[in-house]
A and B are shown apart, each in its own frame.
Chain A
Amino acid sequence: MSIRLVKPFQALTPENIEPIQGQLGVYQLADANGDIFYIGYAGGRSLFGLHGELKGEMKEQGDNEIQFRCEVNMQYISRYKELLMLHKADFGELPERVLKEYPHKIGTLSPGR
């Protein structure tokens, strides 16, 4: 079992967001090339869970060609931190927007491939 999020990205469009329910979980946003530029979560204070968060992202991103993938997960905080650590392990640093939003020390993982 991979600890990374490996499912394919989908275009961040109303049609693709529609089936996603208001559950707790984590998500990643990537540009048209598949480069991840944001990792977020739908937590206990997110209105309409993942559905609401992704809808909000879609509004914020406007006409940009954005992709997303998400995972329903009740343990969204530890999974979120795990995804941040994996991103740091894979790419050396966290996405800029994450750094602004998450001012805490991130742990170090040495995950296998």
Chain B
Amino acid sequence: MDYQLSEEQQALVDMVRRFVRTEICPLEDNLDPDAGEIAPEDSERLKEMTREMGLYGLGIPAEFGGPDVDVTTQTLLAFEMAQHRAGLYNPCYNVFGGAGLGQLYEATDMQKEKYLYPVLRGEKISFFGLTEPSGGSDPGRAIQTRAVQDGDDWILNGTKIFISGADRADFGILFARTSEDKTRNGVTCFLVDTDMPGFHVRRVVHTLRSTHYATEIQIENLRVPKENILGELNKGFAIASDRLSRFRIPYAAGCIGVAIKAQEMAVDYVKIRETFGGLLASRQAIQWMIVDNEIDIRTSRHICIEAAQKADRGEDFRTEAAMAKLLGSEAGGRVVDRVMQIHGGYGMTKDLPLERWYREMRIRRIGEGPSEVQRLVMARNLIGGSFH
């Protein structure tokens, strides 16, 4: 069973596929294998093209000026956008624009003016500050950053880790504990400017992923006006939770896109590479790897699309999104691993994108909630309630 694309979806997919192959991949031929950026003039030129394609700002809701593209179509396009060397963490080097922090669409008018609209215009960069050294899988309980009310302001103190983009951001969302409640019910979401006194990016956190690094933030007596509370006091975790669920679908789609590209490389390679007097394609060990790849790709793709379709229908898609994230990240890792095996020594080199995908794909099983947490989310939804 496979999802049949509508004519319009097929046209969009074809257009983005062409764009990736004719505009993005050739640029990478001249970039460092670990590069995460293209030249500013290339970026501007390509953004102009995506605007002409009517696809700039894909994730932005139509009422905020984004193209009116449903989640399913966005997912189909995300499969395509990831199919290049930097595609897992920098799909198309962001020339399709970003939607910014989804939580800001629910912000007050003042907050939208100051934060959301500048992001949509590409004038400001944001970060999402949830995880702390005390834990990331259960942030609702692990958050130790404190916010204490002082007149009309709140004073924040604490540390955040594994925060992407905080060093380059103009502002971000920070979650802090605002009550004695030790559970997720005592957490509030604050909008903070990175030039506020007391906001420090202390270090780069180096990981397997070289280009899209994370940072550690220290917050020391950071004074935030009460107007900067996003959503309701002590109900900030609902904001985090919503983001985590929504982001699982494109996150999975990126993994699947890379897996599709890796599989394409493998199929091409086995038809030209000879060993012991015969093509790799004729070896059963290789054939089985190719078949296992296809099974991994199709099953994860199917669930990913199902999650997107449920989201489009306005149904509860948390189970499917968690399943897509788990399957996509784990299947993607297996596929890239097999394709490296098929390519032998060349698969390990920086001549091919496989070693970069291998390193970055490993992070995907942990980022945005590890596989174990996805299983926990699904169990909770399937059984009901929260059991400890």
Contact = CB atoms under 8 A, between A and B. Distances in A.
Interface of A: 3, 43-45, 74-79, 81-82, 85, 103-112
A44 B39 contact: no
Nearest to A73: B206
A77 B33 CA distance: 10
Nearest to B200: A110
A103 B215 CA distance: 21
B63 interface: no
B213 interface: yes
Given A44-B33, A77-B35, A104 B204 contact: no
B204 A82 contact: yes
A78 B350 contact: no
Contacts of B34: 43-44, 76-77
Contacts of A110: 200-202, 218
Given A76-B210, A79-B204, 20 more contacts: A3-B204, A43-B33, A44-B33, A44-B34, A45-B350, A75-B206, A75-B210, A76-B34, A78-B204, A78-B213, A81-B213, A82-B206, A85-B204, A103-B39, A105-B168, A107-B168, A107-B215, A108-B168, A109-B201, A111-B202
A79 B205 CA distance: 10
A72 to B, nearest CB: 13
A79 B204 CA distance: 8
A106 B165 CA distance: 11
A27 B169 CA distance: 27
B344 interface: no
A78 to B, nearest CB: 4
B30 to A, nearest CB: 9
A107 B214 CA distance: 12
Contact of A103 (B33, B40, B201, B204): B40
Interface residues of B, number: 26
Contacts, number: 69
Contacts of A107: 166-168, 201, 215
A112 B202 contact: yes
B185 interface: no
A109 B203 contact: yes
Interface string B198-224: 001111101101110101001000000
A26 B198 CA distance: 31
B167 A85 contact: yes
27 contacts: A44-B32, A45-B32, A45-B33, A45-B350, A75-B206, A75-B210, A77-B35, A77-B210, A78-B209, A78-B210, A78-B213, A79-B204, A81-B204, A82-B203, A82-B204, A103-B39, A104-B37, A104-B40, A107-B166, A108-B167, A108-B201, A109-B167, A109-B201, A109-B203, A110-B200, A110-B202, A110-B218
Interface in B1-25: none
Contacts of B206: 75, 78-79, 82
B36 interface: yes
B201 A44 contact: no
A77 B202 contact: no
B194 interface: yes
A76 B206 CA distance: 10
A109 B202 contact: yes
List the 3 shortest-distance A-B pairs measured between CB atoms, nearest first: A107-B167, A44-B350, A44-B33
B32 A77 contact: yes
A77 B36 contact: yes
A41 to B, nearest CB: 8
A62 B136 CA distance: 52
A81 B206 CA distance: 11
Contacts of A74: 210
A110 B220 CA distance: 12
Most chain B Cβ neighbours within 10 Å, of A77, A81, A82, A85: A77
Contacts of B350: 44-45
A58 to B, nearest CB: 22
A111 B204 CA distance: 10
B346 to A, nearest CB: 14
